Amino acid sequence: MPFVGAVLGAVAGGAGALAARAAPPLAGPVAYAALTLLTGAIHLDGFLDSCDALFASVPPERRRAILKDPHHGTYAVAGMFALGSVAVGALAAIPPERLAPALAFAAALARAATVAGALALPDADETAPAYARTPQIAAVQAATFAALGAAAFALSRRAAFAVPCAIAGAFACERLMRDRFGLRSGDAHGFTIAVTEVAVLCVLATSAAGRDRGGE
């Protein structure tokens, strides 16, 4: 998942950079739209479904039923507006020539953090996949985060803060999904990926803004 995310993020960021040549304000919206289209909006759909179920004042069983409802309600619409606005705003703060590496990093890190959170946190019945406890999985996770940490430093020193922020954020989202739904589904993981991805972009945006102030 992190590798696929990196590839899709790089392509989407490249699309945003190309759009900036025609009109700079289009860079962020085009990059975000491209990433959404390239992923088939699968994570965004999980985010929308989870918003409707997450904020409903109903028992966990009813929340899980809402997750399966293909229709989107008020919470989904409000969540999409909030998430999209923050994402496009963060992308607008990143120079167009850095959109490809920034989106590649954000997409890869969000997926890696979500996988780590999903494997580390059992569902409400205290069960977890057996492979989640194998040394091979732990080694892969460690290597993935080491590579992402190196990539963060290559982007900027401030970007390195995105790694612990993403891990903490993904664990918080996965814990929230588990507590509210009892059992997590693909929609819940999609919610975590979508939120964590935008959070990482916000960290990268502050890094870009700090670099610009330093240059001045």
Please tell me which of 52-56, 111-115, 143-147, 206-210 the model is most confident about, judged by mean pLDDT.
111-115
With cut-offs at 50, 70 and 90, classify the pLDDT of residue 126: low
More confident residue, 110 or 58: 110
Phi-psi region of 68 (alpha: psi -120 to 50; beta: other; left: phi over 0): alpha
pLDDT, average across residues 154-168: 82
With cut-offs at 50, 70 and 90, classify the pLDDT of residue 215: very low
User: Rounded CA gap, 25 and 62, in Å?
Assistant: 42
- Average pLDDT for the chain: 82
Q: Which pTM value belongs to this model?
A: 0.82
Phi-psi region of 126 (alpha: psi -120 to 50; beta: other; left: phi over 0): left
The answer on pLDDT for 155 being more than 60 is: yes
